[in-house]
Amino acid sequence: MEIDFKHKQAAHCENGVVANLMTYNGFTVSEPMVFGIGSGLLFTYIPFLKVNYAPVVSYRAMPGIIFTRFATRVGIKIKREKFRNPQTAKARLDENLKRNNPVGLQVGVYNLPYFPDEYRFHFNAHNMVVYGKKEGTYLISDPVMETVTSLTEKELEKVRFAKGAFAPKGHIYYPTAFPEKLQLEKAIIKGIRHTCRDMLAPVPIVGVKGIRKIAKLIRKWPKAKGIKIANHYLGQIVRMQEEIGTGGGGFRYIYAAFLQEVGKLLANDRLLELSKEMTLIGDQWRDFAVEASRIYKNRSNNVAVDQYDHVATLLEDIANKEEVFFKKLKKAI
Amino acid sequence: MTQGMKKNEVPQDKSNLESANFKELCYAVDENGEYTTELSTGWSPKTIALNNAIEALNERIAASKQRVRELKASPLEYYMELHKMDLPILASYVGIWKWRVKRHFRPAVFNNLNNKTLQKYADVFEVTIEELKRTDL
């Protein structure tokens, strides 16, 4: 069976799945809208955790939480289920497809055959929609891909039961109940307030303070860890910032797009101005990435320490700008 | 320095995406300052970062291969690196405690493993037990 499902490519998988599932159910919402209402924008440094032998920073809220927040705020209900047994997981998926219900799945990236090899890491918080099954093959709408694709039963089971951090355990989810009309206005305000609160949180590893913390670490790394490791760490930060799914500039451009859309919807010129300002902050993140890549480009061990100070200064400048920005944003709504 | 990422300025650099015919979606503004999306083939600063990460990974694989050949480590360590895993990920896949997996990296311990345990590793790495035991990688 094949459900008449419209695939639309998105920058980020979770927003994309939500936007596409909403559209299928007759509510057209854009990716930036899902991201903004779900308060996806964030900056966190996660100490004591290493991925790929480097410290972890995140430019977005925890996997899954964007959809949960979006759903509560606009008034839709979601059903979520995880499984211990792959057979039960498969049966539940097949039942839904038989009922003509396209569903979201959380999967691991490492065993996705259609991903470029270089991008196949043990990352378990990827999202996709399954919208049908034909001759034992599942029809897949993966939001980061240009077109739809398919996976065999065995391939799908493997990615649904990937192991490691954030193991998906066959996680399946779909909206079950909708209001007559989405309560967008209230939801938008809640979403924005939440993001402002996160970014200005008085926690040393979160938001603006988190950016300052990373800047401080970058200054320390070359002396404390040596050039080779410092460069590896710096590369990892840029990868997290610009990885597929961020839409560029560590999600800042998607957020600017959200503010523009919302500014028009609510007829709030302040938000339109702030959207422009966020775009410029996005540019600054891009500049940071360019300068950082000049350092790690050569993989040589001869890097003047003042170059690290230079990129750290860029980050501190971004932190200052974002602090002012989110204070203004809080007042604008 | 740019003044807002413009649609026609979305980078189209050569990257690892090309081989898979893969393009990613980026957000940018058009000539009127309106937000829109554009596909990108890649961007050098992140391609370089990714290539460095892959190179570092390959160095780890080569180093563990060497250790296995010199019988300083069991082949499990090599296969773990080959599959881009670390200890917690491998332990989670085989369903064996981390400290035990770590012990299995010692050739003397590895050589005494029973077939049931070996099969668990072989399944995860998608090789036969015979292949798993080979040290002439």
Domain A13-37+77-177: which topology? Cathepsin B; Chain A (3.90.70)
For residue B1, the model assigns a pLDDT of 38
Would you kindly state where each structural domain of chain A is located, as residue ranges?
A: 13-37+77-177, 184-332
For residue B13, the model assigns a pLDDT of 87
- Cα angle: B72, vertex A48, A235; to 5 degrees: 80
Share of chain A above pLDDT 90, in %: 86
Across the range A46-58, mean pLDDT stands at 88
Across the range B20-47, mean pLDDT stands at 91
Q: Which residues fall within 8 angstroms of residue A88, CB to CB, at 6 or more apart? A: A170
Does the distance separating the beta carbons of A164 and B89 come in below 8 Å?
yes
Please tell me the distance in Å from B118's CA to the nearest CA on chain A: 19
Please tell me the distance in Å from A257's CA to the nearest CA on chain B: 6
Q: What are residue A150's DSSP bridge partners?
A: A139
Q: Does A36 touch chain B (CB under 8 A)?
A: no
Burial per residue of A61-88, b for 16 or more beta-carbon CB atoms within 10 angstroms, e otherwise = bebbebbebbbebbbbebeeeebeebee
Q: What stretches of A126-265 show up as alpha helix (H) in DSSP?
A: 153-160, 184-199, 207-225, 227-242, 252-265
Q: One-letter amino acid identity for A46?
A: I
φ and ψ at A216, to 5 degrees?
-60, -45
Determine the residue among B25, B58, B81 to mutate to test chain A binding: the one whose Cβ has the most chain A Cβ atoms within 10 Å.
B25
A219, A313 contact by CB (below 8 A) = no
Classify residue A61 by its DSSP letter. Answer: P
Asked if residue B37 has pLDDT above 80, the reply is yes
pLDDT for A224-263, tens place per residue? Answer: 999 889 999 999 999 999 987 888 899 999 999 999 999 9
Asked if residue B2 has pLDDT above 70, the reply is no
Sign of the torsion angle spanned by Cα atoms B3, B5, B6, B12 = positive
Q: Does B1 touch chain A (CB under 8 A)?
A: yes
What does pLDDT average to over chain A?
Answer: 94
Please tell me the distance in Å from A209's CA to the nearest CA on chain B: 25
Q: What is the CATH number of domain B46-133?
A: 1.10.260
Q: Which segments of chain B belong to CATH 1.10.260?
A: 46-133
Cβ contacts of B43 on chain A, cutoff 8 Å: 242
| Residue A185 pLDDT class (50, 70, 90 cuts) | very high
| Cα separation, A17 vs A92, whole angstroms | 19
φ and ψ at B71, to 5 degrees?
60, 30
For the CA atoms of chain B, what is the radius of gyration?
A: 22
Q: Does A115 touch chain B (CB under 8 A)?
A: yes
Question: Which single residue is written with the structure tokens 């028009």?
Answer: A264
